[in-house]
Amino acid sequence: MSDERYSGHGRNRRRISVVELSLLQKLPLFSNLPDADLRRIALLLRVHHFPKHAVLFSEGDAGLGVWVGLRGTIKLVKSDSLGGEQLLKVVAPEQFFAEVVLFDGGGYPATAIAQTDCTTAVLYNADARALLSERPELAWHFLHVLSQRLRTAQERIRILCGSDATVRLAEILLHVAKEQGRDQLVLGRQDLANMVGVARETVSRVLSVFAAEGYIVTGRNTIALVNKQGLASLIDNQ
């Protein structure tokens, strides 16, 4: 992998301030929790800053905790047997990732790379275990959120198993927009090609059609969904 690991992982650590509780309330992993629990979690979070292209963690590294995107975007990629990369997801601000290691303590299932300069917060497993020892009922809340994430992952697998590239691209754009809670997506053509498993030329051709139909507006590594109903009609009419 060409990206270099950022050596400042521990050096730029700081505690998240209590004024950022409003951010925690927006995250599914922590939403609907009492303020007392949010304040406790806020004190446990560790904030890290990474430059563009830095590797936050690599596939197979020991899973140390669940991460939250605060600023910038992060790519989650998985290596294949031929040394290529499949883009699994682009993490936007106010999204969490690597939650799979929260309970099992296994390795990270993918590599996280800073797509832009970014800021993240981490709830380390040791701190999470201490929190759950004090508040065991929070485990049910976390399990509920993680089960919802599993359903989302299963839906993505269903989309990627489709045969028609146009429908797959329409579905993945709608899926990512729903996942991120925004219609302005930070996604390049190569990102989409890696995510959907088609050639970049195919992605460019299909996106050009979507733009001509008024479904999207493309920029440099950005795609704005301006007519989601039009994209959905492509799926309904397949």
pLDDT given for residue 217 in this prediction: 95
Nearest one of 28, 107, 102, 100 to 69, comparing CA atoms: 28
pLDDT given for residue 51 in this prediction: 96
Q: Was domain 14-156 assigned CATH 2.60.120.10?
A: yes
Angle between helix 165-180 and helix 189-196 axes, rounded to 10 deg: 110
- How many CB atoms are located within 10 Å of the residue 153 CB? 13
Q: How do the domains of the chain map onto residue ranges?
A: 14-156, 163-236
pLDDT given for residue 54 in this prediction: 96
Residue 125, C-beta contacts closer than 8 angstroms, at least 6 positions apart: 63, 64, 65, 101, 102, 105
Class of domain 163-236: mainly alpha
Question: pTM, whole model, 2 decimals?
Answer: 0.74
Reported as a single tens digit per residue, the pLDDT across 143-184 is 888 777 777 776 666 666 766 888 889 988 998 888 888 899
- Angstrom distance (rounded) from CA 50 to CA 46: 13
pLDDT given for residue 156 in this prediction: 66
- Angstrom distance (rounded) from CA 89 to CA 195: 7
Q: Give how far Cα 44 sits from Cα of 4, 5, 14, Å.
A: 28, 24, 10
Angle between helix 125-134 and helix 35-44 axes, rounded to 10 deg: 150
Q: Which residues of the chain have pLDDT under 50?
A: 1-19
Per CATH, 14-156 and 163-236 having the same topology is answered: no
